[in-house]
Structure 1
Amino acid sequence: MNIELLQSQHDALRLLAERVLLAIADEGSPRPLGALRWQFARELMAHLALEDHIFYPSMKRRADDSLRETVAQLQVEVAPLAQSFSQYMAQWNDDRIARDWRSFCQETRDMIEAIMRRIDKENRLLKALTIETGSKAPQIRRAG
Protein backbone atom coordinates (compact mmCIF):
# COMPACT_ATOMS: atom_id res chain seq x y z
CA MET A 1 0.00 0.00 0.00
CA ASN A 2 1.26 3.50 -0.70
CA ILE A 3 0.28 7.11 -0.23
CA GLU A 4 -1.21 7.28 -3.72
CA LEU A 5 -3.82 4.74 -2.58
CA LEU A 6 -4.86 6.97 0.32
CA GLN A 7 -5.03 9.98 -1.98
CA SER A 8 -7.12 8.07 -4.52
CA GLN A 9 -9.51 7.05 -1.73
CA HIS A 10 -9.77 10.69 -0.70
CA ASP A 11 -10.60 11.59 -4.30
CA ALA A 12 -13.25 8.86 -4.48
CA LEU A 13 -14.80 10.03 -1.21
CA ARG A 14 -14.86 13.62 -2.47
CA LEU A 15 -16.70 12.53 -5.64
CA LEU A 16 -19.25 10.55 -3.64
CA ALA A 17 -19.71 13.49 -1.27
CA GLU A 18 -20.38 15.78 -4.23
CA ARG A 19 -23.01 13.34 -5.49
CA VAL A 20 -24.69 13.31 -2.08
CA LEU A 21 -24.65 17.11 -1.92
CA LEU A 22 -26.17 17.29 -5.38
CA ALA A 23 -28.91 14.88 -4.31
CA ILE A 24 -29.86 17.09 -1.35
CA ALA A 25 -29.52 20.42 -3.14
CA ASP A 26 -33.32 20.88 -3.29
CA GLU A 27 -34.51 21.07 0.31
CA GLY A 28 -38.11 21.30 -0.82
CA SER A 29 -38.19 17.96 -2.59
CA PRO A 30 -37.09 14.79 -0.79
CA ARG A 31 -35.23 12.33 -2.98
CA PRO A 32 -34.36 8.70 -2.39
CA LEU A 33 -30.64 8.43 -1.77
CA GLY A 34 -30.23 5.46 0.53
CA ALA A 35 -27.95 3.53 -1.82
CA LEU A 36 -25.71 6.55 -2.35
CA ARG A 37 -25.48 7.28 1.38
CA TRP A 38 -24.54 3.68 2.12
CA GLN A 39 -21.96 3.64 -0.67
CA PHE A 40 -20.38 6.75 0.84
CA ALA A 41 -20.54 5.20 4.32
CA ARG A 42 -18.89 1.95 3.19
CA GLU A 43 -16.10 3.82 1.40
CA LEU A 44 -15.52 6.14 4.35
CA MET A 45 -15.51 3.43 7.01
CA ALA A 46 -13.16 1.23 4.95
CA HIS A 47 -10.85 4.20 4.46
CA LEU A 48 -10.88 5.08 8.16
CA ALA A 49 -10.09 1.49 9.10
CA LEU A 50 -7.17 1.44 6.64
CA GLU A 51 -5.79 4.63 8.12
CA ASP A 52 -6.27 3.52 11.71
CA HIS A 53 -4.85 0.03 11.37
CA ILE A 54 -2.17 0.50 8.71
CA PHE A 55 -1.33 4.09 7.77
CA TYR A 56 -1.10 5.73 11.20
CA PRO A 57 0.86 2.88 12.84
CA SER A 58 3.29 2.90 9.91
CA MET A 59 3.78 6.66 10.10
CA LYS A 60 4.33 6.50 13.87
CA ARG A 61 7.40 4.33 13.25
CA ARG A 62 9.11 6.99 11.13
CA ALA A 63 12.19 8.78 12.44
CA ASP A 64 10.84 12.35 12.24
CA ASP A 65 9.53 13.40 15.68
CA SER A 66 7.37 16.16 14.23
CA LEU A 67 5.77 13.78 11.76
CA ARG A 68 5.06 11.22 14.47
CA GLU A 69 3.43 13.90 16.63
CA THR A 70 1.32 15.15 13.70
CA VAL A 71 0.19 11.64 12.82
CA ALA A 72 -0.63 10.84 16.45
CA GLN A 73 -2.74 14.01 16.68
CA LEU A 74 -4.54 13.19 13.42
CA GLN A 75 -5.32 9.72 14.68
CA VAL A 76 -6.75 11.08 17.94
CA GLU A 77 -8.84 13.66 16.06
CA VAL A 78 -10.42 11.16 13.67
CA ALA A 79 -12.11 9.04 16.34
CA PRO A 80 -14.81 11.61 17.22
CA LEU A 81 -15.48 12.24 13.52
CA ALA A 82 -15.92 8.53 12.84
CA GLN A 83 -18.22 8.21 15.85
CA SER A 84 -20.23 11.25 14.77
CA PHE A 85 -20.62 9.82 11.27
CA SER A 86 -21.75 6.45 12.63
CA GLN A 87 -24.36 8.18 14.79
CA TYR A 88 -25.52 10.27 11.83
CA MET A 89 -26.02 7.12 9.71
CA ALA A 90 -27.90 5.36 12.53
CA GLN A 91 -30.13 8.33 13.30
CA TRP A 92 -31.17 9.07 9.73
CA ASN A 93 -33.16 6.10 8.47
CA ASP A 94 -35.36 6.38 5.36
CA ASP A 95 -38.52 7.13 7.35
CA ARG A 96 -36.94 9.94 9.33
CA ILE A 97 -35.35 11.38 6.20
CA ALA A 98 -38.77 11.52 4.50
CA ARG A 99 -40.39 13.14 7.59
CA ASP A 100 -37.65 15.74 8.19
CA TRP A 101 -35.96 16.28 4.84
CA ARG A 102 -34.78 19.84 5.57
CA SER A 103 -33.02 18.87 8.81
CA PHE A 104 -31.53 15.84 7.10
CA CYS A 105 -30.16 18.05 4.32
CA GLN A 106 -28.58 20.44 6.82
CA GLU A 107 -27.04 17.67 8.94
CA THR A 108 -25.77 15.95 5.82
CA ARG A 109 -24.12 19.15 4.57
CA ASP A 110 -22.54 19.69 8.00
CA MET A 111 -21.27 16.10 8.15
CA ILE A 112 -19.83 16.18 4.65
CA GLU A 113 -18.18 19.55 5.34
CA ALA A 114 -16.47 18.09 8.43
CA ILE A 115 -15.31 15.04 6.48
CA MET A 116 -13.99 17.18 3.61
CA ARG A 117 -12.08 19.42 6.05
CA ARG A 118 -10.51 16.27 7.47
CA ILE A 119 -9.61 14.96 4.01
CA ASP A 120 -8.03 18.30 3.11
CA LYS A 121 -5.96 18.18 6.32
CA GLU A 122 -4.80 14.64 5.55
CA ASN A 123 -3.99 15.58 1.95
CA ARG A 124 -1.69 18.33 3.23
CA LEU A 125 0.12 15.74 5.36
CA LEU A 126 0.36 13.30 2.45
CA LYS A 127 1.72 16.04 0.19
CA ALA A 128 4.33 16.92 2.80
CA LEU A 129 5.31 13.25 3.09
CA THR A 130 5.69 12.96 -0.67
CA ILE A 131 7.85 16.10 -0.80
CA GLU A 132 9.91 14.92 2.19
CA THR A 133 10.71 11.60 0.56
CA GLY A 134 11.30 12.93 -2.95
CA SER A 135 9.23 12.27 -6.04
CA LYS A 136 8.44 8.68 -5.09
CA ALA A 137 5.84 8.31 -2.37
CA PRO A 138 6.94 6.09 0.52
CA GLN A 139 5.54 2.60 0.76
CA ILE A 140 3.44 1.91 3.80
CA ARG A 141 3.76 -1.58 5.12
CA ARG A 142 0.89 -3.39 6.77
CA ALA A 143 1.01 -3.22 10.56
CA GLY A 144 1.61 -6.33 12.58
Structure 2
Amino acid sequence: MLERMLLDHAVLRERGESLMALLDRSEMPDQQLLAETRWQLSGHVMQHLALKDRYLYAKLLNDPRPHVRAIGEEFHQELAALYADYCEQGKYWTQERVAAEWEAYRHPAKARILAMFARVEREETQLFPLVYDASIDISTQVPHSSNWAREAFAIKDAMTKASARP
Protein backbone atom coordinates (compact mmCIF):
# COMPACT_ATOMS: atom_id res chain seq x y z
CA MET A 1 0.00 0.00 0.00
CA LEU A 2 2.91 2.38 0.59
CA GLU A 3 3.82 1.91 -3.05
CA ARG A 4 0.30 3.03 -4.00
CA MET A 5 0.61 6.06 -1.73
CA LEU A 6 3.96 6.94 -3.28
CA LEU A 7 2.40 6.70 -6.74
CA ASP A 8 -0.42 8.96 -5.54
CA HIS A 9 2.18 11.42 -4.26
CA ALA A 10 3.76 11.46 -7.72
CA VAL A 11 0.36 12.27 -9.24
CA LEU A 12 -0.18 15.01 -6.64
CA ARG A 13 3.18 16.51 -7.52
CA GLU A 14 2.46 16.31 -11.25
CA ARG A 15 -0.96 17.94 -10.91
CA GLY A 16 0.42 20.51 -8.49
CA GLU A 17 3.15 21.39 -10.99
CA SER A 18 0.54 21.75 -13.74
CA LEU A 19 -1.45 24.16 -11.62
CA MET A 20 1.71 25.97 -10.54
CA ALA A 21 2.62 26.55 -14.20
CA LEU A 22 -0.74 28.26 -14.74
CA LEU A 23 -0.36 30.29 -11.56
CA ASP A 24 3.06 31.51 -12.69
CA ARG A 25 1.42 33.43 -15.54
CA SER A 26 0.94 37.13 -14.95
CA GLU A 27 -2.21 37.03 -17.08
CA MET A 28 -4.98 34.67 -16.11
CA PRO A 29 -4.96 31.54 -18.31
CA ASP A 30 -8.01 30.16 -20.05
CA GLN A 31 -10.72 29.96 -17.41
CA GLN A 32 -11.83 26.45 -18.35
CA LEU A 33 -8.27 25.10 -18.37
CA LEU A 34 -7.62 26.65 -14.97
CA ALA A 35 -10.87 25.25 -13.56
CA GLU A 36 -10.13 21.75 -14.84
CA THR A 37 -6.55 21.86 -13.56
CA ARG A 38 -7.68 23.05 -10.12
CA TRP A 39 -10.31 20.33 -9.88
CA GLN A 40 -7.98 17.56 -11.11
CA LEU A 41 -5.65 18.37 -8.25
CA SER A 42 -8.43 18.80 -5.68
CA GLY A 43 -10.24 15.64 -6.69
CA HIS A 44 -7.04 13.62 -6.43
CA VAL A 45 -6.25 15.16 -3.04
CA MET A 46 -9.62 14.00 -1.71
CA GLN A 47 -9.27 10.49 -3.10
CA HIS A 48 -5.76 10.21 -1.74
CA LEU A 49 -6.75 11.40 1.72
CA ALA A 50 -9.61 8.90 1.89
CA LEU A 51 -7.23 6.11 0.92
CA LYS A 52 -4.61 7.22 3.40
CA ASP A 53 -7.16 7.57 6.17
CA ARG A 54 -8.49 4.02 5.73
CA TYR A 55 -5.15 2.30 5.31
CA LEU A 56 -2.70 4.42 7.30
CA TYR A 57 -4.06 7.00 9.73
CA ALA A 58 -6.74 4.83 11.30
CA LYS A 59 -4.10 2.22 12.07
CA LEU A 60 -1.60 4.74 13.44
CA LEU A 61 -4.24 6.35 15.64
CA ASN A 62 -5.26 2.97 17.08
CA ASP A 63 -1.79 1.50 17.48
CA PRO A 64 -1.11 0.21 21.01
CA ARG A 65 2.33 1.89 21.10
CA PRO A 66 2.13 5.45 22.49
CA HIS A 67 4.93 6.82 20.29
CA VAL A 68 3.25 5.52 17.13
CA ARG A 69 -0.13 6.95 18.16
CA ALA A 70 1.50 10.30 19.01
CA ILE A 71 3.15 10.57 15.61
CA GLY A 72 -0.08 9.49 13.91
CA GLU A 73 -2.05 12.10 15.84
CA GLU A 74 0.46 14.83 15.00
CA PHE A 75 0.36 14.09 11.29
CA HIS A 76 -3.41 13.60 11.25
CA GLN A 77 -4.18 16.84 13.12
CA GLU A 78 -1.81 18.82 10.93
CA LEU A 79 -3.40 17.34 7.83
CA ALA A 80 -6.92 18.10 9.07
CA ALA A 81 -5.96 21.76 9.60
CA LEU A 82 -4.31 22.03 6.19
CA TYR A 83 -7.28 20.39 4.54
CA ALA A 84 -9.80 22.62 6.30
CA ASP A 85 -7.97 25.67 4.93
CA TYR A 86 -7.77 24.03 1.50
CA CYS A 87 -11.54 23.44 1.47
CA GLU A 88 -12.30 26.96 2.65
CA GLN A 89 -10.11 28.47 -0.03
CA GLY A 90 -11.45 26.10 -2.68
CA LYS A 91 -15.00 27.25 -2.02
CA TYR A 92 -14.06 30.93 -1.62
CA TRP A 93 -12.13 31.19 -4.89
CA THR A 94 -14.91 30.71 -7.41
CA GLN A 95 -14.22 31.05 -11.13
CA GLU A 96 -15.61 34.58 -11.06
CA ARG A 97 -13.56 35.64 -8.05
CA VAL A 98 -10.37 34.19 -9.54
CA ALA A 99 -11.02 36.05 -12.80
CA ALA A 100 -11.72 39.32 -10.98
CA GLU A 101 -8.81 39.01 -8.54
CA TRP A 102 -6.20 36.96 -10.40
CA GLU A 103 -3.21 38.56 -8.69
CA ALA A 104 -4.74 38.15 -5.22
CA TYR A 105 -5.53 34.50 -5.96
CA ARG A 106 -2.39 33.21 -7.60
CA HIS A 107 0.24 33.84 -4.91
CA PRO A 108 -1.66 32.25 -1.98
CA ALA A 109 -2.67 29.37 -4.27
CA LYS A 110 0.99 28.78 -5.10
CA ALA A 111 1.82 28.85 -1.38
CA ARG A 112 -0.81 26.13 -0.72
CA ILE A 113 0.69 23.95 -3.45
CA LEU A 114 4.16 24.41 -1.99
CA ALA A 115 2.77 23.48 1.44
CA MET A 116 1.28 20.34 -0.12
CA PHE A 117 4.65 19.48 -1.66
CA ALA A 118 6.36 19.97 1.71
CA ARG A 119 3.75 17.82 3.44
CA VAL A 120 4.15 15.00 0.91
CA GLU A 121 7.93 15.14 1.34
CA ARG A 122 7.59 15.04 5.12
CA GLU A 123 5.29 12.03 4.95
CA GLU A 124 7.76 10.22 2.72
CA THR A 125 10.77 10.98 4.93
CA GLN A 126 9.19 10.74 8.38
CA LEU A 127 5.86 8.93 8.35
CA PHE A 128 6.35 6.18 5.79
CA PRO A 129 9.62 4.98 7.38
CA LEU A 130 7.73 4.69 10.67
CA VAL A 131 5.31 2.28 8.98
CA TYR A 132 8.22 0.06 7.96
CA ASP A 133 10.16 0.42 11.21
CA ALA A 134 7.14 -0.24 13.42
CA SER A 135 5.90 -3.09 11.19
CA ILE A 136 2.45 -1.56 10.76
CA ASP A 137 0.29 -3.62 8.43
CA ILE A 138 -1.39 -1.19 6.05
CA SER A 139 -2.42 -3.82 3.53
CA THR A 140 -6.05 -3.83 4.68
CA GLN A 141 -8.48 -1.00 5.25
CA VAL A 142 -10.29 -0.09 8.43
CA PRO A 143 -13.13 2.36 9.02
CA HIS A 144 -12.09 5.93 8.28
CA SER A 145 -11.76 8.63 10.90
CA SER A 146 -12.58 11.62 8.69
CA ASN A 147 -14.84 12.37 5.75
CA TRP A 148 -12.30 13.97 3.43
CA ALA A 149 -14.77 14.27 0.56
CA ARG A 150 -17.55 15.96 2.54
CA GLU A 151 -16.84 19.30 0.86
CA ALA A 152 -16.17 17.85 -2.60
CA PHE A 153 -19.29 19.05 -4.38
CA ALA A 154 -19.09 22.57 -2.97
CA ILE A 155 -15.43 22.82 -3.95
CA LYS A 156 -16.01 21.38 -7.41
CA ASP A 157 -18.92 23.75 -8.02
CA ALA A 158 -16.88 26.76 -6.91
CA MET A 159 -13.94 25.76 -9.07
CA THR A 160 -15.68 24.61 -12.21
CA LYS A 161 -19.06 26.30 -12.57
CA ALA A 162 -19.58 29.83 -13.67
CA SER A 163 -22.50 31.39 -11.85
CA ALA A 164 -25.54 32.29 -13.87
CA ARG A 165 -25.94 36.02 -14.22
CA PRO A 166 -29.31 37.64 -14.89
TM band (smaller chain):
0.7 to 0.9
Q: Which residue of 2 aligns with 1:97?
A: 98
How far apart are residue 117 of structure 1 and its match? Answer: 1.5
User: Once the two structures are superposed, what CA deviation does each residue of 1:16-53 show, in whole Å capped at 9, x if it has no partner?
Assistant: 000100111122x1113100100100000111122223
- Contact kept? 2:56, 2:138, Cα under 8 Å: no
Q: Which residue of 1 aligns with 2:41?
A: 40
What number of residue pairs does the alignment pair up?
Answer: 139
- Contact kept? 1:61, 1:68, Cα under 8 Å: yes
How far apart are residue 63 of structure 1 and its match? Answer: 5.4
Q: Which residue of 1 aligns with 2:85?
A: 84
SS, match of residue 67 in structure 1: helix
One-letter amino acid of the counterpart of residue 5, structure 2: L
Question: Is residue 21 from structure 1 mapped to residue 20 from structure 2 by the alignment?
Answer: yes
Q: Quick one: distance in 1 between partners of 2:82 and 2:25? A: 26
How far apart are residue 62 of structure 1 and its match? Answer: 4.2
Identity %, equivalent residues? 21
Unmatched segments (≥5 aa) in structure 1: none
One-letter amino acid of the counterpart of residue 94, structure 1: Q
User: Once the two structures are superposed, what CA deviation does each residue of 1:58-91 show, in whole Å capped at 9, x if it has no partner?
Assistant: 2334454322221121111111111111111111
Q: Quick one: distance in 1 between partners of 2:60 and 2:98? A: 40
One-letter amino acid of the counterpart of residue 14, structure 2: L
- Contact kept? 2:55, 2:138, Cα under 8 Å: no
Q: Which residue of 2 aligns with 1:67?
A: 68
Unmatched segments (≥5 aa) in structure 2: 144-166
One-letter amino acid of the counterpart of residue 131, structure 2: L
How far apart are residue 93 of structure 1 and its match? Answer: 1.1
Change (3 A) 1:61 1:141: farther
Q: Quick one: distance in 2 between partners of 1:87 and 1:61? A: 29
Task: Tell me the C-alpha RMSD between the 2 structures.
Answer: 2.0
Q: TM-score, normalised by structure 1?
A: 0.86
One-letter amino acid of the counterpart of residue 127, structure 1: P
